[in-house]
Every structure is written in C-alpha cells, then in structure tokens.
Amino acid sequence: AIRMTQSPSSLSASTGDRVTITCRASQGISSYLAWYQQKPGKAPKLLIYAASTLQSGVPSRFSGSGSGTDFTLTISCLQSEDFATYYCQQYYSYPQTFGQGTKVEIK
Amino acid sequence: EVQLLESGGGLVQPGGSLRLSCAASGFTFSSYAMSWVRQAPGKGLEWVSAISGSGGSTYYADSVKGRFTISRDNSKNTLYLQMNSLRAEDTAVYYCAKPGTVTTPGGFDLWGRGTLVTVSS
C-alpha cells in the first residue's frame, strides 16, 4: 500500500498567517491527490482534488500544488473558520490511503 | 437533494456481524464508484472499501479483507457493507463517500453523516 506522510502533525498559527502543510507519498501517485478539512463531529469536506484543483465553493485562499511524491496545501491568509484538521488522500491505486492528519490550532 | 444517508450502526459483540447501508439520492448512483471510509474515536481517516459503479469490481483495505464485503443495489440506489468477525479495532464512525467524477475513484465530494459502530462485550 502507498503510505502518505503529512507534516507537521500539528501546528499553531494566528488569524492572517500563511500556513503550509506537506504530504509525501511513498511512491509516485501522479496528481491523484485530494485534500480535506475536517471539524470535530463532522464529515470531511473536500478542498482540493487532482493535487491542485479547487473544489467548487471552497475559498481561493486554499491552494494545492505538487505531483509525483511531494504535495503541498497552502492557506494564504488563515481565517477563524480554518482551524480544523486537514488530511491528504491518494487515489492513484487501491487501497486508497490517507495521511495521518494535520491539526491546525489557534496560537 | 444530493445526499448520502448511512444506517445500520450500533453495538455488537466481538466476533459478531453487522450490515451497514448507505442510501444515495440526487445523483446518478450507478455511474459512480463508491467507498466506505471509517474513523476510530480520536483517530484519523481510514479508507475501508470501494466498489465500481456496476458492482463488478471490489477493493478492500488489508485490515478488513476477508471479513468485510461491499456491495450495491443500483435499482435501490443503496450501498452496503457487510461486516463479519468484528473486532474491537473496528469500532469507528463509518462514512460512505462519493467521488467528484465518474472517472476517478477518489476525491470524495459527498459524504454521509456517518454511522457509529461499537464493538464491545
């Protein structure tokens, strides 16, 4: 199975900060990568698919980049509603796999 | 309305069985591969299983292979997960999920609210 490793596991940031989360695949996955945001007690929400395509309705402060094995999710100007846990997911091959998550907390 | 609604969760003893259902509405169900994803309490997301739109191909995580069976009834717009030989480590909220396109199996743009499965004596 392809292993997805996110870093950092958690971070503290302030409103207005630029935040970057990275995701590394154990083997190449082309651009078959998605990013999700999850808040406590809620289902995950799709932010980015195909590594860099913004899902409809998602604010433009979210962006994704990368291909192959190294990927990045960037939040350009952190808002209060962005404090949550973020997951990457590869869907290049089965079994599909998620990263372990990155919790973005208020500094 | 476009939605997924899971049901069938509950408390079951170790070694027991449970069948989850996911009722889909608002989209052409048979066109999409569908997946089950779970989340143990306080833990991250784990992909569990997927099935092609026709039902002819199925896929499983190693952790459930041989114990869980995914199926679908396109005439009823319903996805199922039959879970046998349940273990404590299967305790989780189980979500069904739909990919954003008919051509890719991931990038889930629609999730259900989840159903809680608790395996305990």
Contact B107 A96 (CB under 8 A): no
pLDDT at B13: 98
Q: State the virtual CA torsion across A48, A49, A54, A56 in degrees, nearest 10.
A: -100
Interfacial residues of B (vs A; Cβ cutoff 8 Å): 35, 44-47, 50, 59-62, 95, 99-100, 104-109, 111-114
Give the gap in angstroms from C-alpha A83 to the nearest C-alpha of chain B. Answer: 16
Q: What is the pLDDT of residues A31-87, one digit of tens each?
A: 999 999 999 999 999 999 999 999 999 999 999 999 999 999 999 999 999 999 999
Q: What is the pLDDT of residues A72-90, one digit of tens each?
A: 999 999 999 999 999 999 9
pLDDT at B65: 98
Cα gap A80→A57, rounded to integer Å:
17
Contact B107 A87 (CB under 8 A): no
pLDDT at B33: 97
Q: What is the pLDDT of residues B43-99, one digit of tens each?
A: 999 999 999 999 999 999 999 999 999 999 999 999 999 999 999 999 999 999 999
Cα gap B63→B89, rounded to integer Å:
10
Report the chain A residue with the minimal C-alpha distance to residue B61: A95
Question: Which residue type does B99 have?
Answer: P
pLDDT at B2: 97
> Would you call the peptide bond into A95 cis, given omega within 30 degrees of 0 as the criterion?
yes
Report the chain B residue with the minimal C-alpha distance to residue A97: B47
**Inter-chain Cβ pairs, chain A and chain B, closer than 8 A:** 68
pLDDT at B83: 98
Q: What is the mean pLDDT of residues A19-35?
A: 98
